[in-house]
């Protein structure tokens, strides 16, 4: 039973904060759009009026927001009121270099920061079965691993500050490539006159199978482009992938390709579609070469 | 119990012919390199001296060779001696257009031809758990589905002549994309200083997971480039993918990318390495852009 704060009650953060509460913690939440906290208030969770108020109450604060600059902005509101040694746990997917810098800056102010990006999607958040990649020093991460238990299936320390973000980006590369494989396979099959349901079933059950086949495949078959994980958020992560790859001289041509294909959806105003809509880009495209 | 012929006793065909024999068929085999038939001879299977001799004995003949021209060459040796109505079952991965043309040519000679390419790898052949994509008319394919039972986990008619090859090429696109996703994820992780075994386990267990992660991942971790499925054979299939995609105006940029990366291994004399060696190309490459 701890005094926990949770900042960012979106599709992921909302259910995660609820899990913390249900596990018996005293939870205080804050969200930029206050309306999203009403479901938490109704469940008996404290809703802070400001980040300062939240920070003053808590010994550990989870963040689940969007970009590096959003994390920085929230911390700017939290840190001045935070108790010495407060543990900040960042579940957002941000720049690894940014995460490392933030950890160093907070350390200089007597605070602690662990990057702890998550994967597993909205169902994973709802069901408490997320995978969490933790970067930070061993003692801090050990505390984090206890705290996140109510919503993690797998949580591990993967290295020092920034490592959690690095592994999350590696994860997005694997997800993006598998998505491309699915969409390219099905769009070719469609043009070849094959039955898509049969193609999906037969190929997905063999050496071409993947989580993407199982989970995004049905969206493609139904041509249902409601999120899911949006093109916009996927491209945000790919931006960090490109930046991080450049910094360590890593080649990520597949990720760059997927990003360029999703950029077409973005340009057409479909940034809120689910990433499986990559299928539509390939389906209409003309063969190159 | 039928008089079955099997032509092509390679890594795939060898165990498949054995399964036919073990299921109680009278099997006659032929292989270009006669030595590969010795294990079959020792098991009590007839080894024909020539394709003509094999064809004269059998009511159905399976082929498991390499390229379109190899199938044509074998058929040129088989057909003149074959009984009217002989059913040729082609397990090779060849051009869909080629398969359709061969089916039409054989039909004009009173023979039957079903394209029935396989997936599931050498373990699938050994364990009798292959997936088989069958293209041909309904009656012929119905016969094929009975014949291949001893080595198939899944076998289905997917459409008219050539369709089996089309779905096999779609399958290779899915396999190739998943391979790229795996290799890109792990080569980035390696350069980022992450532990590769942990990365593989954590990411493979989530939304980035795939058959490729499970089966090629351990090869990458061990840097074991023994086949497996060779770069050479993968590129042979990708050549058919490119040709087939062009013919139907399908975009396959991911497959083209994987092919271009594997071409580097080919150029360096590593065409017999397993496809997971794609990792080495990414690992050494410099970031683009």
Residue A245 at interface with chain B, using a CB cutoff of 8 Å? yes
Which residues lie closer than 8 Å to A207 by C-beta, 6 or more apart? B119, B120, B121, B171, B175, B211, B212, B215
User: What is the average pLDDT across A137-144?
Assistant: 98
Summarised one tens digit per residue, pLDDT across range A114-123 is: 999 999 999 9
Q: What is the pLDDT of residue B5?
A: 98
Neighbours of B55 (CB within 10 A): 26
Query: Where among B103, B131, B160 does a domain terminate?
Result: B160
Contacts of B192 in chain A (CB under 8 A): 96, 163, 166-167, 169-170, 244, 248, 250
Chain centre to alpha carbon of residue B114: 15
CATH number of domain containing A212: 1.10.1040.10
Label residue A288 by pLDDT band (50, 70, 90).
very low
Domains: count for chain A: 2
Contacts of A282 in chain B (CB under 8 A): 250-251, 253
Q: What is the pLDDT of residue A205?
A: 94
Query: Where among B129, B160, B191 does a domain terminate?
Result: B160
Label residue B183 by pLDDT band (50, 70, 90).
very high
User: What is the average pLDDT across A160-165?
Assistant: 98
Same domain, B34 and B91: yes
Residue in chain A lying closest to B185 (CA):
A170
Query: How far apart (Å, rounded) are the C-alpha atoms in residues B275 and B172?
Result: 12
For residue A25, is it left (φ>0), alpha (ψ between -120 and 50) or beta?
A: beta
Query: How far apart (Å, rounded) are the C-alpha atoms in residues A74 and B165?
Result: 55
Summarised one tens digit per residue, pLDDT across range A56-66 is: 999 999 999 99
Q: What is the percent of chain A where pLDDT is above 70?
A: 98
Same domain, A279 and A137: no
Indicate yes or no: CB of B170 within 8 angstroms of CB of A181.
no
Summarised one tens digit per residue, pLDDT across range B115-162 is: 999 999 999 999 999 999 999 999 999 999 999 999 999 999 999 999
Q: What is the percent of chain B where pLDDT is above 90?
A: 96
Same domain, A145 and A229: no
Same domain, A99 and A136: yes
Indicate yes or no: CB of B207 within 8 angstroms of CB of A120.
yes
Indicate yes or no: CB of A174 within 8 angstroms of CB of B182.
yes
Same domain, B99 and B186: no
pTM above threshold 0.90 = yes
Q: How many Cα atoms sit within 13 Å of B146 on the Cβ side?
A: 11
Please identify every residue of B annotated as catalytic.
168
Same domain, A210 and A280: yes
Indicate yes or no: CB of B254 within 8 angstroms of CB of A256.
no
**Residue among A50, A109, A115, A105 at smallest CA distance from A83:** A109
CA distances (Å), A159 to each of A116, A137, A166, A231, B194, in order? 11, 8, 10, 29, 7
Same domain, B177 and B277: yes
Q: Is A168 designated active site?
A: yes
Q: What is the pLDDT of residue B284?
A: 85
Q: What is the pLDDT of residue B1?
A: 63
CATH number of domain containing B141: 3.40.50.720
Q: What is the pLDDT of residue A1?
A: 63
Nearest Cα of chain A lies from the Cα of B222 at a distance, in angstroms, of 19
Summarised one tens digit per residue, pLDDT across range B198-247 is: 999 999 999 999 999 999 999 999 999 998 899 999 999 999 999 999 99
Same domain, A142 and A184: no
User: What is the average pLDDT across A220-224?
Assistant: 98
Same domain, A219 and A147: no
Summarised one tens digit per residue, pLDDT across range A68-107 is: 999 999 999 999 999 999 999 999 999 999 999 999 999 9
User: What is the average pLDDT across A41-63?
Assistant: 98
Query: Where among A160, A178, A194 does a domain terminate?
Result: A160
**Residue among B207, B204, B2, B208 at smallest CA distance from B87:** B2
Tell me the β-bridge partners of B63: B7, B90
Averaged pLDDT score across all residues of chain B: 96
B 40-59 residues with CB below 8 A of A? none
Q: What is the pLDDT of residue A289?
A: 39
Label residue B287 by pLDDT band (50, 70, 90).
very low
Contacts of A253 in chain B (CB under 8 A): 184, 257, 261, 282, 288
Q: What is the pLDDT of residue A2?
A: 84
Q: What is the percent of chain A where pLDDT is above 90?
A: 96
Nearest Cα of chain A lies from the Cα of B107 at a distance, in angstroms, of 23
Asked if pLDDT for residue B289 goes beyond 90, the answer is no
Same domain, B137 and B170: no
Q: Which of B253, B276, B278 would you mutate first to test chain A, the one with the most A CBs within 10 A? A: B253
Same domain, B76 and B219: no
Summarised one tens digit per residue, pLDDT across range A226-260 is: 988 999 999 999 999 999 999 999 999 999 999 99
Same domain, A43 and A176: no
Q: What is the pLDDT of residue B124?
A: 94
Most confident of A154-158, A281-285, B122-126: A154-158
User: What is the average pLDDT across B66-80?
Assistant: 98
Range of the domain at A56: 3-160
């Amino acid at each position: 039973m701890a005094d926990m704060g949770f900042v960012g009650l979106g599709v992921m953060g909302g259910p995660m904060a609820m899990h913390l509460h249900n596990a018996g913690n005293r939870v205080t939440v804050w969200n930029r759009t206050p309306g999203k906290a009403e479901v938490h208030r109704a469940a008996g969770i404290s809703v802070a009026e400001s980040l300062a108020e939240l920070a003053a109450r808590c010994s550990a604060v989870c963040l689940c927001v969007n970009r590096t600059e959003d994390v920085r902005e929230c911390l700017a509101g939290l840190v001045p009121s935070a108790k010495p040694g407060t543990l900040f746990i960042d579940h957002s997917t941000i720049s690894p270099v940014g995460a490392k810098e933030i950890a160093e800056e907070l350390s200089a102010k007597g605070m602690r920061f662990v990057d702890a990006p998550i994967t597993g999607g909205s169902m994973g958040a709802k069901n408490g079965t997320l995978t969490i990649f933790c970067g930070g020093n061993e003692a801090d991460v050990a505390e984090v691993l206890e705290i996140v238990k109510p919503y993690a299936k797998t949580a591990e320390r993967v290295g020092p500050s920034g490592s959690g973000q690095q592994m999350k980006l590696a994860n997005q590369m694997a997800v993006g490539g598998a998505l491309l494989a699915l969409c390219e396979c099905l769009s070719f099959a469609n043009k070849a006159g094959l039955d898509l349901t049969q193609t999906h079933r037969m190929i997905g059950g063999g050496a071409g199978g993947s989580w993407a086949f199982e989970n995004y495949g049905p969206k493609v078959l139904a041509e249902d482009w409601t999120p899911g994980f949006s093109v916009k958020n996927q491209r945000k992560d790919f931006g960090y992938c490109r930046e991080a790859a450049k910094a360590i001289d890593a080649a990520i041509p597949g990720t760059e390709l997927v990003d360029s294909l999703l950029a077409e959806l973005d340009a057409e105003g479909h940034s809120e579609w689910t990433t499986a809509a990559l299928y539509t880009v390939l389906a209409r495209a003309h063969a190159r070469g």
